[in-house]
Amino acid sequence: MRALKSYGLALFLILVVAAWLSTGVLIRGGQGPGNGEQSVVSALESDGGPITDAVERTGIAVVVHHKEGAEDPALSIAERAALSQSENGPERVVRIRKYQVLPMPLEVSLRGYTAAESLVKVIAQTSDIVLTVDVVDGQHVEIGDPICTLDNGTRLASVEQARASYAQAEAALAQARNDFNVNARLRERGFESSNSAEGYAVTLSAAEANLRAAAVNVSNSEDELHNTEITATISGMIQRPLAEVGDLISIGGSCASIIQLDSMKFVGAVPQSRIDLARRGLEAEIRTINGQTVTGMVSFVAVTSDPATRSFAIEIDFENPDHQILDGLTAEATVKLGFIPAHLLPQSIMTLNENGVVGVRTVEDNIVAFYPITILQDTRDGIWVTGLPNSVDIIVLGQEYVKAGQTVVASPEE
């Protein structure tokens, strides 16, 4: 009897739970809104059965609810926003910012190296043994500073001899001029024949020629003596190799080298695709590999390309008064070719239209418009683009939830 009561109670509980579950809804995902919803009873008995009959006798209604007009998951965000607007009525609010056309600097970046304006060897103009060296490697010199001195040998004696010869020629000229004048007075008084003047004139001309020759000899002797003192012909830094005391230097031999670090030049190459934009007089900014920055001006553009690279050589002159920029540093030059009208925009406000075209959405009289843009240059301050009106209100917040032709409420960005 007790067992019969237990089985009866268990059967009653099972019927109660089954009735409660039959009122539920079974949801199967991946079939769209409302398509995956089904009652538990219909899932167990698709064509009816004893459970369905029992539930119907109890009077419990199994109803599957689905919102009419539910959003299609295949719609895009902009399409859902437009659908929501048409159903709900109020216009969507977006934030806008006004952008004006600006002059975008048109620049070309070149890679190259720094080069000294000149590297001059200090050449000896006479031959002899080095007596003194007056500079050291790395020393800065100005024009006329002594570099080294050669042994003068017999040059000083040659100068004295030339000066003595000049004094003799000067005295001989004075005597010849006096004789010529005396002869002229005697001829006037009739004490000398008229044809005697020719001999005195020839003697006077010879004396004048001897004096000129003596003067040239003095000048050559003094120059030869002066050439034993070798001085700087340009200002700059002393570079190796240096002569040593006791070396024998011949005419044309080098006593030292001087590199001129002010002014200097940047040597680079322009690609042939941009050669039509390069010209003399353009401003440029030069940045060395160690972070130094100077400004210069294009001084030379080659008219013949390099056969190996098909690029054109270019030189940019710049001042280096403190000699901080050295010769042969790897550098990059940015040549400023001019300006073109463009808009500077942040990358965050760019979007794509339905066809995947890059552009921005704007507001004109509360109507959304889409403008495709052309990207010119990406910088730290933003992206330079073209394709927009001179003054335009661009949507900066909410551009992904509206589409062209849609009416919106536009408020300026705070």
pLDDT of residue 39: 61
Planar angle of CA 299, 302, 304, nearest 5 degrees:
175
Q: Give residue-wise pLDDT tens across range 1-26.
A: 566 567 667 776 776 666 655 555 55
The DSSP result for 102-154, as a single string, is EEEEEEEEEEEEEEEEEEEEEE-SS-EEEEEE---TT-EE-TT-EEEEE--TT
pLDDT of residue 189: 79
Q: Is 195 helix (H, G, I), strand (E, B) or coil?
A: helix
pLDDT of residue 13: 74
Long-range contacts of 160-168 (CB under 8 A, 24+ apart): 161/221, 162/214, 162/217, 162/218, 162/220, 162/221, 162/222, 163/218, 163/221, 165/214, 165/217, 165/218, 166/211, 166/214, 166/215, 166/217, 166/218, 168/214
Question: Domains plus CATH for the chain?
Answer: 2-58 (no CATH), 80-101+346-412 (2.40.420.20), 152-227 (1.10.287), 259-339 (2.40.30.170)
The DSSP result for 207-227, as a single string, is HHHHHHHHHHHHHHHHHHHHT
pLDDT of residue 145: 92
CA–CA gap between residue 210 and residue 149 (Å, rounded): 33
pLDDT of residue 45: 58
Q: Is 30 left (phi over 0), alpha (psi -120 to 50) or beta?
A: left
pLDDT of residue 183: 84
CA–CA gap between residue 230 and residue 242 (Å, rounded): 13
Q: Give residue-wise pLDDT tens across range 25-37.
A: 555 555 554 555 5
Q: What single letter denotes the amino acid at residue 182? A: V
Query: Which residue positions in the chain have pLDDT lower than 70?
Result: 1-5, 7-8, 12, 15-90
